Amino acid sequence: MNAKDAIRQTLQLSQMVLRRYLEDLTDAELFQRPGPGCNHLAWQLGHLISAESQLVEFLRPGAGVPLPQGFAEQHSKETAGSDDASQFRTKQQYLELFDQANRATLALLEQFSESELDQPGPEQLQPMLPTIGSVFLLIATHPLMHAGQFVPVRRALGKPVVI
């Protein structure tokens, strides 16, 4: 297995875990918060989509999925406390955008050679993500960072264990 294969498989695993946690949740249940001060699941989904698109854009401007107008702003730190469902999307809309963002990421990954993954990443990201490969690894693992917050919501709702 090479680095691109590992990134691709990690992204696919992250997608699978998140989808399993979401599959039986309703749109209304996406507004549950895993605990006090935590972001609800709808906000987290939008954040994941926005972040992935932005990271892809950092790597190659124009390669990220075009997001609906105002989408990134609706899922910014400033809106994290909002419970107004009209300001967010449906589960289906999030999943469609998530899939589009993932396809854009995978398409961009194919444009890089193995050796290019070792090249310096975007300057503004280098303190945390020093290489192009490390940016792709963050994209691939970011959903798993949030997946742990989906479990307490599932438990509070009485949903079954899915993984």
Is residue 47 assigned to a domain? yes
**What is the structure's pLDDT at 6?**
97
**What is the structure's pLDDT at 70?**
94
- 97 — pLDDT class (breaks 50, 70, 90): very high
Is residue 75 assigned to a domain? yes
Is residue 161 assigned to a domain? no
Q: Domain with 118 in it: what CATH number? A: 1.20.120.450
Q: What is the pLDDT of residues 127-143, one digit of tens each?
A: 999 999 999 999 999 99
Instruction: Provide the 8-state DSSP code for 161.
Output: P
Q: Domain containing 47: what range?
A: 3-156
Per-residue pLDDT, averaged over 98-122, amounts to: 97
Per-residue pLDDT, averaged over 52-58, amounts to: 97
133: left (phi over 0), alpha (psi -120 to 50) or beta: alpha
For 15, 101, 111, 130, the CA distances from 114, given in Å and listed in that order, are 23, 22, 10, 16
Nearest to 96 by CA among 147, 153, 46, 150: 46
Q: What is the pLDDT of residues 4-16, one digit of tens each?
A: 999 999 999 999 9
CA distance 129 to 63: 19
Continuous segment of H or E residues that includes residue 108: helix 91-111
For 11, residues 6+ apart whose C-beta sits below 8 A from its C-beta are 102, 105, 106, 139, 140
Share of the chain above pLDDT 70, in %: 100
Per-residue pLDDT, averaged over 85-105, amounts to: 97
Is residue 55 assigned to a domain? yes
**What is the structure's pLDDT at 3?**
96
CA distance 151 to 90: 19
**What is the structure's pLDDT at 15?**
95
Is residue 162 assigned to a domain? no
Number of structural domains in the chain: 1
- 32 — pLDDT class (breaks 50, 70, 90): very high
Is residue 9 assigned to a domain? yes
Share of the chain above pLDDT 90, in %: 99
Per-residue pLDDT, averaged over 50-59, amounts to: 97
pTM of the model: 0.96
CB of 147 within 8 A of CB of 17?
Answer: yes
